[in-house]
């Protein structure tokens, strides 16, 4: 079985290609301070705590073939992140959904990466009361982007387990609340780049795997699927993968797992809204399963993910106002 060339399908298949859009929305659309604009015009007030101190909660949902995927799950995760960080969105779920629909419509895309955030806003005199902050809402929609291209997914990514950085501990910042604190993740990517690797995964202080930049980590050993139970975002693609694996009859283990177990795995992959299920070829230079390329079960999960998506599974049709 070959890896589905999903990016190519999105670019070429008439049921995926872009709808009409005004020229100013060629790169995407945005919503800032209650106003829609092109993404090229969108800007952030420089004193916003989201910009100055990474003080924000955010989420990202994808659209494929004109359907949001698991929109309600994303909206719920976002609401829960706001609660955990004492942030208040000015919009409820229905109003947020309306904004996201409008953004995708303006961008005229049936394959979209749709981002939204609530930031703390400027710092008021009374810093100790979260209610005295004027929280702000931002959002944008751009054509869909893959963390790993068709070519990379076909051959599998070269993954590094970061040796320089551990993931920010859950007792410092709750990783289940999607947030802007990415310095550990970003610097680990530069560490990977120095070694000719393409993506990373970070451990916690106890040496257990957590997650990577924008991704959850999975591995397969003797046909069984493993993923960390804590120290990571509860990714919507992770949840989807666990469901698809169960459907394929794979035993699934959500538990503490180590870098040694990952290096010794038969197959591995990372998951994200920005790319779905992305096969790993090697970990720290060790080719998994002793054979180059994505493993058979990873390929099965990868292709099942996209075929389900394109059947409209757990999808909410974008309201293009047609």
Q: Residue 163 burial by CB count (10 A; 0-12/13-18/19+): exposed, middle or buried? A: middle
The answer to whether 241 contacts ligand PLP (rule: CB under 6 A) is no
Q: Rounded to 5 degrees, what angle do the CA atoms 67, 73, 78 make?
A: 115
The answer to whether 235 contacts ligand PLP (rule: CB under 6 A) is yes
Per CB under 6 A, the list member of 38, 96, 208, 216 interacting with ligand PLP is: 216
- Shortest Cβ distance from residue 77 to ligand PLP (Å)? 7
Give the nearest residue (CB) to ligand PLP.
235
The answer to whether 281 contacts ligand PLP (rule: CB under 6 A) is no
CA nearest 206: which of 257, 154, 145, 150? 257
The answer to whether 200 contacts ligand PLP (rule: CB under 6 A) is no
Rg (CA), the chain: 20
Nearest-angstrom CA–CA distance, 152 and 158: 9
The answer to whether 29 contacts ligand PLP (rule: CB under 6 A) is no
Q: What is the dihedral sign for C-alpha 255, 177, 275, 156? A: negative
Per CB under 6 A, the list member of 101, 208, 237, 298 interacting with ligand PLP is: 237
In terms of CB distance, is 29 or 227 closer to ligand PLP?
227
Per CB under 6 A, the list member of 42, 141, 215, 257 interacting with ligand PLP is: 215
- Shortest Cβ distance from residue 271 to ligand PLP (Å)? 5
The answer to whether 166 contacts ligand PLP (rule: CB under 6 A) is no
The answer to whether 233 contacts ligand PLP (rule: CB under 6 A) is yes
In terms of CB distance, is 10 or 289 closer to ligand PLP?
10
Per CB under 6 A, the list member of 227, 271, 282, 299 interacting with ligand PLP is: 271
Q: Which residue has the tokens 């040796």?
A: 163
> How many residues does the structure list for the chain?
322
Q: Which runs of E-coded beta strand occur in the chain?
A: 29-32, 35-38, 56-64, 67-69, 112-119, 136-143, 157-166, 199-203, 209-212, 215-221, 224-227, 252-254, 267-272, 276-283, 286-287, 315-317
Per CB under 6 A, the list member of 236, 288, 301, 304 interacting with ligand PLP is: 236
- Shortest Cβ distance from residue 213 to ligand PLP (Å)? 7
In terms of CB distance, is 39 or 215 closer to ligand PLP?
215
Nearest-angstrom CA–CA distance, 267 and 296: 8
The answer to whether 135 contacts ligand PLP (rule: CB under 6 A) is no
Task: Write out the residues near ligand PLP by the rule CB under 6 A.
Answer: 60, 211, 214-216, 232-233, 235-238, 271-273
């Amino acid at each position: 079985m070959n890896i589905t060339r999903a990016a190519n399908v999105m670019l070429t298949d008439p049921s995926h290609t872009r709808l009409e859009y005004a020229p100013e929305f060629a790169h995407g659309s945005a919503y800032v301070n209650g106003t829609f604009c092109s993404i090229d015009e969108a800007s952030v007030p420089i004193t916003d705590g989201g910009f100055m101190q990474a003080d924000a909660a955010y989420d990202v949902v994808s659209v494929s073939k004109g359907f949001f995927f698991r929109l309600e799950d994303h909206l719920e995760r976002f609401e829960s992140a706001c609660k955990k960080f004492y942030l208040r969105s000015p919009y409820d779920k229905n109003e947020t959904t309306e904004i996201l629909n409008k953004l995708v419509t303006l961008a005229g895309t049936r394959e979209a990466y749709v981002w939204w955030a609530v930031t703390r806003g400027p710092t008021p005199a009374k810093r100790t009361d979260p209610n005295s902050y004027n929280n702000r809402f931002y959002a944008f929609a751009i054509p869909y982007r893959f963390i790993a291209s068709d070519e990379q997914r076909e051959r599998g990514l070269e993954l590094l387990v970061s040796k320089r950085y551990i993931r920010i501990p859950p007792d410092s910042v709750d990783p289940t609340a999607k947030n802007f604190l990415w310095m550990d993740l970003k610097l680990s990517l530069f560490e990977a780049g120095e070694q000719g690797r393409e993506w990373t995964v970070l451990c916690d202080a106890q040496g257990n795997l957590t997650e990577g930049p924008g991704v959850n980590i999975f591995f397969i050993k003797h046909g069984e699927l493993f993923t960390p139970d804590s120290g990571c975002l509860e990714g919507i693609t992770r949840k989807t993968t666990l469901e698809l694996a169960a459907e394929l009859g794979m035993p699934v283990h959500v538990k503490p797992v180590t870098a040694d177990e990952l290096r010794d795995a038969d197959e591995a992959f990372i998951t994200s809204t920005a790319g779905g299920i992305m096969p790993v070829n090697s970990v720290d230079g060790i080719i998994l399963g002793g054979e180059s390329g994505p493993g058979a079960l990873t390929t099965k999960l990868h292709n099942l993910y996209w075929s389900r998506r394109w059947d409209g599974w757990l999808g909410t049709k974008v309201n293009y106002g047609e």
